[in-house]
A and B are shown apart, each in its own frame.
Chain A
Amino acid sequence: MKKFIKEKGIVIPLDRANVDTDYIIPKQFLKSIKRTGFGKNLFDEARYLDKGLPDQDCSSRPINPDFVLNQARYAGGSILLARENFGCGSSREHAPWALEDYGIRCIIAPSFADIFFNNCFKNGLLPIVLDNNIVNSLFEETVPNEGYELEVDLTEQTILKADGSVIKFEIDCARKKSLLNGLDDISLTLLHADDIKNFEERWKQKSPWLFT
C-alpha cells in the first residue's frame, strides 16, 4: 500500500452533504475487474453532462463547467474538503480507488460513513475528521482564495495553513502506523496465525455445527 506521510496540495471544496458512493463512482464503472483507472469517472454524473459508459474516452465528453473539479483553479488538487457523512451508501472500494486514482490523497470533513472511512485506510488515503466550525472556516478561506493550499503532516497530526497557523487532528494510532509505513494488513494479521488457529480450535469445540 502507498504510504501517507505528508501532503501539501491545493484544496478542492465540495460543498455538499451526504455525498454517497454512487455519487463518487456510479455503478456502471464497477464492472471492471481491476483496481485502477477509475479516476476519470470520479463524480461522473456531476462532472460530465452526458451519461458515462465504461471504457469510454472521457476527453471528448461535455463537461459541467459549474462542477468544482472542472474549474481550472482546482486542477491538480490533492486535498478534498467535504461536508458531513461523506461516503455514505455502499461498501464499494471503487470509491476510494477513484479518489486515489484521480490524485486525491486526503479528505477533510466533519464526519464520514463508517465503511468508506475504513476503506480509505486500505488505499493510502487519509480521511481527517474536523469540527464542523473548522470545516466551515476552511470552506470560507478556500473559495475566495485561488491556489489555496494546506499541508497535512500525519506524523505530527497537523494541518498547516499558508498563514502559518496550525490545526491539530486526531487519528487512531493503528491506522496512523499503517498509513505511515504503507503496511500490508494481511501480512500483519498472519503474524498472529497461531492465535487464529488456537481460537479456531476452541471455537470448533464450542460450536461444532459451524465446522461441518
Chain B
Amino acid sequence: MTGKTLYDKLWESHLVKDLDDGNSLIYIDLQYIHEVTSPQAFEGLRLAKRSPWRSEANMATPDHNVPTTTSERAQGVEGILDPVSKIQVKSLDANCTEFGINEFTIDDPRHGIVHVIGPEQGRTQPGMTIVCGDSHTSTHGALGALAHGIGTSEVEHVLATQCLQQSKAKNMLIKVNGELGRGVTAKDLVLAVIGKIGTAGGTGYTIEFGGDAIKALSIEGRMTVCNMAIEAGARAGIVAVDDKTIEYLKGRPFSPSAELWDQAEAAWRELHSDDDAYFDKIIELEAIDIEPQVSWGTSPEMVAAISKNIPDPAQMENDAKRGNYQQALAYMGLEANTPIQDIKIDRVFIGSCTNSRIEDLRAAAAVVKGHKVAESIKEAIVVPGSGLVKAQAVQEGLDKIFTEAGLQWREPGCSMCLAMNADQLGEEEHCASTSNRNFEGRQGFGGRTHLVSPAMAAAAAVAGHFVDVRDWT
C-alpha cells in the first residue's frame, strides 16, 4: 500500500465526514481573525442569531490598518487618525468582546501581525487545521499545520460550525536539494520557486516543501517560504515536523506543558510524509543555483537573480506572455535588458508577515550597520512583526543600528505590505520591499514594488539601487 503524505495525514485526522455531494466536512482547530475580513462575518452571526461554536478556538488581533508611527500609536485605538480605520479596529474590539474571543488589542505588548504573533504565542501547533480571512495564513504550515486563507463567508462558517466544506487538494512536493549559498535566504528560495513554477503553478495543490535546503532553514525561514505558497497559487504550504519544530514550540505561552507536552510531542513527531507517499507532482531545485532574487514586474513570478538583466519581452515564447511582460515593464517604468543592479530605489520597506521576525531584522541590521541610507532614498522604514519582536530587537540594539543608519523604527503592523494605513508609496516610486506582492498599486496608487529579502532591501537602502548582498562588506 502506498504511504501517506503529510497533507493526507492532516486531512484524514480532521475529516468529520464525507458529504454525499462529493465535498467533505473538515474540522478546524483554530481560526485567526483580523479587522478587515471579519466585520461582515460577525454581522452575519448577529443577523442569524448564531453564536460561535467554540469561541476559544479563535484568536484575534487588528493588524492590517493600524498606524505604525509611535506618535499615532501612543493613545491606542483612540489615536488612529484615519476615521474609517478606527471604526474597523473598534468593531473588532466590540465583536471580540460580544462573542467572547481572545483578542490581542492594539495596545497589548504582544500585539502584532496575526501570522507573526500566532506562532510566537504558541497558538499555532503542529497537526492543527488553521484558517484566517487572509491568504498568508499558509505561513503556519511551517510548523506542520494545515493552514490556509478563506473568504469572509467562510470566516462566518467556521465561527458558527467549527468546520469547512471542502474538497481535497492534490499533493505537490517541492524539494530543494543541497545547501543555499552565503547571503541567499528563505525569501530568495521561495521567490526562485515562484519564478520557476509561476503564480498559478500550485493552484489546486497543497505544497509540501522538503529537501536538505528546507531542513536547514530555521522555523522563521520556513515561515517565509510557506507564507508565499499562496503566491505560487497553492492555498497551503507545509513543512514536516522535526527537532527544530519541537524546539521552537517549547515553553511558548500557549504550548502544552507537563504530561500534555509529552503526549503532544509524540503525536507531532509523526507529522511527516511517509517514504513511499505518492505526490501528484514533484518539482526539484538545486539550492546552489539560487541567487539573491529581485522582482522586476507586477507579479511575484516576474523575478530575476541579482546578477541578471530584466528579461526582454521580445524573447518570450508566446504572445500572451510577451503582452504580460510589456504591460508589467510599462507600469514599472523599466526597460528590457536593464541590469537588475541598475534599478534605482526611492523607498525601502522592511516588514510584513513574510519578513518581520527577529532573524529578518538581524539580517537587515547586519547589512546597514556602520553605513548610512543613500541620500536619494526618500524614506526607509523598519516595521517589526510584533511587539515582542520589537522588544527583542531593542534588547539586541538593532533599533539603534537602524536609526543610526537613517532608517525609521516603527510600531508593529502590516504597514506598507498592503498600504491600508498611512505607509504608502507615491506614484512611480520604486520600493525595495520584503513583503510578498508586487501587484499594480499594491503599496500605493502607482507605486512600484520590488520583492527582495531583508538583507537585499537593507543593502539597496544603503546603495540607492539593488546590489548583490553576497559582495557586501
Chain A residues within CB distance 8 Å of chain B: 16-18, 20, 22-23, 26-28, 30-35, 45, 51, 54-55, 83-85, 88-93, 96, 111, 113-115, 118-119, 122-123, 172-174, 177, 185-186, 188-190, 192-193, 195-196, 199-200, 203, 206-210, 212
Contact = CB atoms under 8 A, between A and B. Distances in A.
Given A190-B160, A210-B125, 4 more contacts: A31-B84, A114-B233, A186-B160, A203-B27
Contact of B263 (A85, A119, A195, A209): A209
Contacts of B439: 20, 22-23, 89
Contacts of B189: none
5 contacts: A90-B418, A93-B133, A122-B151, A173-B22, A196-B25
Given A55-B84, A196-B16, A210 B29 contact: yes
Contacts of B50: 186
Nearest to A86: B200
B91 A33 contact: yes
A99 B310 CA distance: 34
B357 interface: no
A82 B22 CA distance: 28
B314 interface: no
A168 B330 CA distance: 38
Interface stretch (B36-44, B180-188, B381-389, B462-470): B36-44
Contacts of A27: 418-420, 442
A22 B440 contact: yes
Interface in B52-79: 53, 64-65
B227 interface: no
B154 interface: yes
Contacts of B40: 33-35, 93
Contacts of A88: 199-200, 233
B441 interface: yes
A119 B199 contact: no
Contact of A122 (B37, B43, B154, B440): B154
B299 A18 contact: yes
B383 to A, nearest CB: 16
Given A113-B203, A114-B233, A93 B263 contact: no
Contact of A115 (B149, B260, B264): B149
Contacts of A195: 16-17, 25
Nearest to A122: B153
B324 interface: yes
Interface string B6-39: 0000000110110101110101010000001101
Contact of B25 (A34, A92, A189, A212): A189
A28 B420 contact: yes
A174 B164 CA distance: 14
Nearest to B441: A45
Interface centre among B125, B165, B264 (most CB of A within 10 A): B165
A86 B87 CA distance: 31
A85 B233 contact: yes
B161 A33 contact: no
B127 A91 contact: no
B149 A189 contact: no
B204 interface: yes
Contact of B200 (A30, A51, A85): A85
B48 A186 contact: yes
B154 A16 contact: no
A199 B16 contact: yes
Contacts of A208: 260, 263
Contacts of B148: 115
B256 interface: yes
A91 B149 contact: yes
B441 A200 contact: no
Contacts of B299: 18, 20
B85 interface: yes
